[in-house]
Amino acid sequence: MTLDRQSADALLETGDTTFQQKDYAAAFMQYEKAAGAAREEFNRPVEVEALSQMARMRLLMNKMDDAKQYLAEAASRANDSDSMGWSRYLGVKGRVEWRTGDLKTARQTFETMFDYCSLHDLWSRAVDAAHMVAIVAETPEDQIEWSRKGIAIAEARETENWFGPLWNNLAGIYYDMKRYDSALECYRTAREYHWRFSDERAKLVADYHVGMAYRFLGNYKQAGSWLRPVLAWAERLQDHDIIGQACEDLGEAAIGLGRKDEGLAYLKRARDEYKLAGYDTSAPEIWENISKRIEQAR
């Protein structure tokens, strides 16, 4: 018998920590160990959580068939009398349904999860469920309602680590509605929490969104004051995705201020960075739009 053998609970916690660090491959292996340990301990709740998270890691790694396989295994062991395992299973089940395009079923799953977690005082998971309903809901009004519901619970139950994603999602809803003033307000609020609780890239993206919102409001000088530091920061990280987005917005801001040549140069660089980020194949609509915009701006 080895003295340093970790319990299933400890292995699950380690997996959760690694997952939060976005190292999905390593998290998968840790969850796999947790599932194995749970079977040895006859710890069915942890086994369900670990299997569910193995499915989620595969989903995040774009391995849908594997995700469905592990989710089915979790389903065969899940029981709604186990609040931790059942709530985790529902959260992953809804995400698989969402990613396969079955938004109606995904919404039903997330609403079931929300009610269940609220009943069992699992408030962080209830917030997660509300957040996901807001993502899969069909109408902007529904999306806003569920976003606000999640924010209200997070405030009441002091789950502040959720505020960044919640406010960011609400900002995105207003942005899609072209309500840029409301989007800016929400992006600025999201930024406050990302700077308190999130990693470096999330902080960078939060700053970018503020500058982007100013650009769409036509406040080009203020947009530039945010986007130029974002560009320098993204260059340091060699993040071609954010470099491209910052350059595109800086280009539009320069054109808006009457500096056409400068703006066109930024747009051309944005296209180059999008190429390096693989947008020509992974996001062809963005690639086509920037190419068309460059031709228009010549």
Q: Read off the pLDDT of residues 242-276 as tens digits, 9 standing for 90 and up.
A: 999 999 999 999 999 999 999 999 999 999 999 99
pLDDT in tens, 6-25: 899 999 999 999 998 889 99
Q: Is 147 exposed, middle or buried (0-12, 13-18, 19+ CB in 10 A)?
A: buried
pLDDT mean across residues, the chain: 94
**Amino acid 108: pLDDT:** 98
Structural domains of the chain ordered from first start: 1-100 (1.25.40.10)
Mean pLDDT across 151-158? 89
* Tens digits of residue pLDDT in 33-92: 999 999 999 999 999 999 999 999 999 999 999 999 999 999 999 999 999 999 999 999
pLDDT at 1: 36
Is the model's pLDDT at 134 over the cut of 50? yes
pLDDT reported for residue 297: 86
In whole angstroms, what is the distance from residue 145 CA to residue 82 CA? 29
Overall average pLDDT of the 127-155 stretch: 94
In the DSSP assignment, the letter for residue 121 is: T
pTM of the predicted protein model: 0.84
- d(CA 251, CA 76) in angstroms, rounded, equals 54
| Predicted confidence band of residue 4 (pLDDT cuts 50, 70, 90) | low
Tell me if residue 217 falls in helix, strand or coil: coil
Residues 6+ apart with CB under 8 A from 198: 164, 206
pLDDT at 2: 43
Average pLDDT over residues 188-217: 96
In this structure, what token pair is assigned to residue 102? 């079955």
Question: What's the pLDDT at 161?
Answer: 83
Can you tell me the mean pLDDT for 110-119?
Answer: 97
Question: What percent of the chain has pLDDT above 70?
Answer: 99
Residue 3 has pLDDT above 90, yes or no: no
